[in-house]
Structure 1
Amino acid sequence: MLGALAQASGAVDDCVEAAAWALSDNELLASLDAAHKVGQRLAAVQLGLVRELDARGLAVAEGASSTSVWLRDRLRLSSRSARQLVQLAATLDAAPPAVRDAVHTGSITVEQGRVLAETIAALPVEAGPEVADKATELLITWADRFDPATLSRLGERVLAHVAPDLADQAELAALKRATERAEARRHVTLSGQQDGQVRLSGTLDTETASLLREAIDPLCAPAGEHDERSPGQRRADALGEICRLALRTGDLPDNGGDRPQLVVTMSLDALVNGVRAGTLETGVRLTPGAVRRLACDSAVLPAVLGGNSQILDVGRQRRLFTGPLRRALVLRDGGCAFPGCDRPSRWCDGHHVRHWADGGTTTLGNAVLLCGHHHRLLHQGDWTVRIAADDRPEFLPPAWMDPLRTPRRNLYHRRC
Structure 2
Amino acid sequence: MVEELAQADDAVAACVDAAAWTLAEHDLIAALDAAHRLTQRLAAIELTLVRELDGRGTARAQGASCTTVWLRERLRLTVPTARRLVDLAAALDNGHNGGVRQALADGNITAEQARVITDTVTTVHDSAGTAAADKAVGVLVEWAGQFDPTLLRKVSSRILDHVAPDVAEAAAKAALDADARRADRDRHLTLSAQTDGRLRLTGILDAETAGVLRAAIDPLSAPSGPDDQRFPGQRRHDALADLCRLTLRTGDLPEHGGDPAQIVITTSYDALARGLSAGTLDAGFTVTPQTVRRLACDAAILPAVLGGTSQTLDVGRQRRLITGPLRRALVLRDRGCAFPGCDRPPRWCDAHHIRHWTDGGPTSLANAVLLCAHHHRHVHHSEWTVHLGNDGHPEFTPPAWLDPDQIPRRNHYHRRN
TM category (shorter chain) comes to 0.3 to 0.5
> TM-score, normalised to structure 2's length?
0.45
Q: Of the two, which has the highest radius of gyration?
A: 2
